[in-house]
A and B are shown apart, each in its own frame.
Chain A
Amino acid sequence: MLRRTFVTAAASVLVAIGMLSAAEAQDRFITVASTTSTQDSGLFDALLPAFTAKTGITVKVIAQGTGQALDTARRGDADVVFVHAKSQELKFLEDGFGVKRYPVMYNDFVVVGPKSDPAGIAGGKDVVAAFKMIADKKAPFVSRGDKSGTNSAELKLWKAADIDLPAVRGEWYREIGQGMGATLNTANAMAAYTLSDRGTWIAFANKGDLGIVVEGDKKLFNQYGVMLVNPAKFSTVKADDGQAFIDWLVSPEGQSAIAAYRIDGQQLFFPNANDPKA
């Protein structure tokens, strides 16, 4: 009887695995390594169904920080990378892991902070001056600290403000090594400033006492690029289907779908595939 129980259990496991395999086999899919900002803002939920309906290709999105997404692609675990840190993307291309980089769209970063505004920067338009003030006043600041695109943008801003982080950092500068949402949750709980992409900020539901303090500076623009992972490096890369996704993103149809995505009437992403310098 014991044996029968074992046999039944083993059989049900095989059936379960068989069902899974069947479900996987019927899909034609690509894997896209992308950033938390594109997923948490809801952009992919709006874009992907249109692409899938047109081509029959399902898109599986792994949402990570830009650094981790590029690393996933470097290991050959994704077909396409869709991220936002141009210098890291160019390095990726240079190392031969990508085929070609296409600019897709931009959104912008905003500095958010508590209503009490301990650094006195609310309403400013000059992000570099605001960062100087935060460091001078040692006002609490939460950093992603995860090599994401947002993290690189933040580090670039400290540099532009002539702040030597390793020298001045202390209690006030908190690196938490997590995604944008977790960082906003932390900033809310600590009444701290942080840098966020606008999309995640608008979609974020736990704003609490936080609000936008600095926005609109050109330095806060955040460019997204998309690349096919080099099939010459990894034969498993689905080059045709991956390229089809890229072509669709930069096509007039994909670009207008990006422009049409709104939350609370606000446009989050601005297509600019036709700007070769982006």
Chain B
Amino acid sequence: MYHSLDIRLSASEGAVIRTLGLIERRGFSLGKCSISEAGSNGRSMQLTVASSRSGDLLKRQLQRLHDVHSVELKPAVSIQKSPGIRPINRRT
């Protein structure tokens, strides 16, 4: 299953690696990733991720991070398959 995520996070040191690390550790492979500055003290991150696990659960896990301000999980139907990623198939 592929998911598209739109994440707003703080510009704090480590915020990006903390967020990306969580995504991989929780069983999602990273595909497209684009990071840009957003506002005076923030960043915006657009990602495509793949996993057999629930995107909604990943969203709630990301929302636990103090650095993450908001997470938007886009419906899978609108996602372009990224050539570089295959879903991680992990038993839960």
Asked if A and B bind, the verdict is no
- Please report B residues at the A interface, Cβ cutoff 8 Å: none
- Please report A residues at the B interface, Cβ cutoff 8 Å: none
